[in-house]
Structure 1
């Protein structure tokens, strides 16, 4: 299905540019859903099917975060440049530039879910709703659960991963092959992987600057600047009606999502039974049902 944007372009962000695309009508009166992708350092591509919500008269805004996709690439910037605050500022700048800061909904997926939680905790007046999808409430929790999921991989796989991580050879083919075993179980269970997901996967591969600096060489070996970061202490300050989404086989396991459920005052949680980390691709019909039910309740 083709999701035709009604508008796309870039907005200036300081000396840089943020690429965006709008599907639907921003002036319809309904709050647009701004899609904040994962990574950090991924792109909007794997979330393009979310544009389908525009067919239900909800305008949808996708954008590529600084450092990847259609936004300015900065391969020479070191880890100290890539901060959570930078991406919070970029999001606020986008909302203001598109003229939607007084009426919008945020959908944050994976790393994007932590980012939108921090944004929401400041209680911006225009935020009408918040969706936190496939996100851990903190990276220390995430790493704790990653260890458990890795220990449950088929015999020998984690030994290969650990050996390469210890040796610093995480760019080897053997590491990538072992990594794929984890990804097929806990990231995307569809075979073959959908082209939208592959598009983002290759974008990260082509310019891993942000991903390596903030995350690390893989989903489960987080050694970047985010390794001690989380938003658990901010959850109590989120006042927007919040929907949590995760997959039964998600690398964002129930233990990593639980603090959101426990601490955000107005919250509900849907677990999609046949999904891992990408329920919008793995169970699109059920996912759309869950989203529309939430959106129509706002």
Structure 2
């Protein structure tokens, strides 16, 4: 009889706790989606104050979708591009109930631009991302950081310092070593060009005549359309062109260098390959067959990450989320929902 009473008591107790937890969760969800009628709604845009070098600037963010459990903070490439080339994400992630956040880094797009190369350095950008994460209330229970190209460098560096503050990491189309990236550009990609085009490009680069219109005339068909986005340039999606047209050249040249083959800026010697073993959060590396980044090297990165997985886009290039969309987004969504 005593056993029966104890069992009954425990059943009632745990049922009551379960109901309370359920109500609590429901209340949290309702509060999350509720619109505050006391303030003007602005489409999820938030200007975030960030303090750097004892100066306060504001960076632009915009939330797309609502999901308290899955939030993806996007780090754009370049360096110096804008969030806009990510706009194709709107066609895939919201339908799966996945929230993501656009974010223009300092000096990019809608964010403040100090017009000072003093601010164009990797450690400062890492601290900027951390300030943005805090301001948006992103936590280790819901926040994934997706860094594409230069954003992948920033994401890796951020994770090495602040991985305990996020749930997962996505490194999209970026190798963990700039020297190896430069080597791949010189020894593989350059040799795939027509010899006459490569000869002329090298002549222009040797003369440091990067403003020469002929430089882009050669690069677009021989490099950009082969390895950046595998479509005729006249057919490139409007968000890509809009973003590239707004490139902060000062930021790009300071960190990347003026050449499209490898890196000659202050990221030239950046290499975190041997440190990948220290990133313990769940991670996804995305590589593509025709990318400017070596897909085999990116597979190797997956093997070095303790909790890494690899997504390979066989039809994709550097912007694989455009030229191999189905593979890219299926793999990304599966990863986020695991």
TM-score by length of 1: 0.91
Measure, in 2, the Cα distance between the counterparts of 1:93 and 1:233. Answer: 27
- Match among 294, 316, 338 for residue 253 of structure 1: 294
Does the CA-based 8 Å contact 1:123-1:237 persist in structure 2? Answer: no
- Residue 218 of structure 1: CA displacement? 3.9
Where do 5+ consecutive residues of structure 1 fail to align?
none
Question: Within the alignment, does 1:92 sit opposite 2:126 as a pair?
Answer: no
Residue 267 (structure 1) shift: 1.1
Shift of the alpha carbon at 1:259?
Answer: 4.3
* Structure with greater contact order relative to length (CA < 8 Å, sep ≥ 6): 1
Do residues 47 (structure 1) and 86 (structure 2) align?
A: yes
The 3-state SS of whatever aligns with 1:159 is helix
> In the alignment, is residue 115 of structure 1 matched against residue 154 of structure 2?
yes
Give 5+ residue unaligned stretches, structure 2: 1-41
Which has the higher Rg, Structure 1 or Structure 2?
2
Task: Name the SS of the counterpart of 1:107 in structure 2.
Answer: strand
1:23 and 1:118, CA in 2 relative to 1: closer, same or farther beyond 3 A?
same
1:215-230 paired onto structure 2 within 5 Å: 215-230=256-271
1:132 counterpart residue number: 171
Alignment of 1:27-106 (within 5 A): 28-51=67-90, 52-75=92-115, 77-78=116-117, 80-102=118-140, 103-106=142-145
CA distance in 2, matches of 1:256, 1:41: 25
For residue 106 of structure 2, give the secondary structure of its aligned residue in structure 1.
coil
Decide whether the 8 Å contact of 1:232 with 1:259 is kept in 2: no
- State the number of aligned residues: 287
Superposed displacement of residue 107, structure 1: 0.7
1:81 shift after superposition: 3.0
**Alignment of 1:193 onto 2:236:** yes
Distance 1:128 1:221, change over 3 A: closer
Aligned residue number for residue 11 of structure 1: 48
Relative to the length of structure 2, the TM-score reads 0.81
1:169 is displaced (CA, Å) by 0.3
Distance 1:197 1:116 in 2: 21
Residue 255 of structure 1: how far off its partner (Å): 4.3
Moved more, 117-126 or 55-64: 117-126
Between the aligned partners of 1:53 and 1:12, the Cα distance in structure 2 is 27
Q: CA RMSD for the aligned pairs? A: 1.6
Q: Distance in 2 between matches of 1:72 and 1:256?
A: 35
Shift in Å at residue 211 of structure 1?
A: 0.3
Q: Match of 1:252, SS?
A: coil
Within the candidate set 280, 285, 308, 1:239 is matched to: 280
**Counterpart of 1:166?**
206
Asked if 1:277 is matched to 2:318, the reply is yes
Secondary structure, in 3 states, of the residue corresponding to 1:124?
helix
Q: 1:209 to 1:106 in 2, by over 3 A?
A: same
